[in-house]
């Protein structure tokens, strides 16, 4: 799990750095990306499920962007909330970040309705690529041996953790 956490944090740091230093990539980083990272990190072996969640997020942010382009008001926000929750339940996506990503247009105020869906697509595809990489690295023999070698150390550190 440490390797997964390390790779996810490096990815998030890279996305934040790119969005901070390059104005054209401003919307590639958004806080919900961290929630997707944590969710995906625990589903490395379920790449099909990760793909479904990614598709759901793209659909939700696209619908949110269209609704925001039509109207910036509270009623539009309410409609996207109800619609996205319905989609999550209907398709059994089981991922709360999908709802959060549909709200991003109302806070980011994108100039064009396609910019945010494109940014979310790029960032989530990068995240899926990182997840795929983690899965491949964890299959390497030396990584699994290292994990087994560190297990006794982790067991010895557990009592210290309880004292804190």
Express each pLDDT in 3-20 by its tens digit.
888 889 999 999 999 888
Residues 6+ apart with CB under 8 A from 162: none
Using DSSP's 3-state secondary structure scheme, residue 95 falls into coil
Q: Please state the domain count of the chain.
A: 1
Average pLDDT, the chain: 87
Q: For the chain, state the CA radius of gyration.
A: 19
Say whether pLDDT at 80 is over 70: yes
Name the percent of the chain lying above pLDDT 90: 52
Determine the pLDDT at residue 75.
96
Determine the pLDDT at residue 115.
87
Show the domain range for 125. Answer: 2-163
Residues 6+ apart with CB under 8 A from 108: 27, 30, 116
Residue positions counted in the chain: 164
Q: Are 43 and 97 in contact (CB under 8 A)?
A: no
35 C-beta neighbours (distance < 10 Å), count:
16
Q: 0.85 cut: is pTM over it?
A: no
| Residue bearing the bigger pLDDT, 56 or 108 | 56
Determine the pLDDT at residue 141.
77
Q: Region 41-56: what's the mean pLDDT?
A: 90
């Amino acid at each position: 799990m440490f390797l997964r956490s390390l790779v996810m944090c490096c990815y998030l740091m890279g996305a934040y750095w790119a969005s901070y230093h390059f104005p054209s990539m401003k919307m590639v980083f958004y806080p919900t990306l961290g929630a997707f990272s944590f969710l995906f990190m625990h589903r490395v072996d379920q790449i099909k499920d990760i793909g479904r969640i990614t598709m759901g997020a793209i659909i939700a942010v696209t619908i949110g962007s269209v609704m925001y382009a039509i109207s910036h008001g509270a009623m539009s926000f309410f409609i996207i909330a109800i619609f996205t929750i319905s989609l999550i339940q209907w398709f059994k996506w089981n991922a709360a970040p999908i709802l959060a990503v549909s709200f991003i247009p109302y806070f980011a105020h994108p100039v064009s309705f396609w910019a945010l869906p494109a940014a979310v697509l790029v960032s989530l595809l990068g995240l899926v690529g990182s997840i795929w990489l983690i899965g491949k690295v964890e299959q390497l023999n030396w990584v699994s041996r290292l994990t087994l070698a560190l297990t006794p150390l982790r067991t010895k550190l557990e009592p210290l953790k309880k004292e804190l």
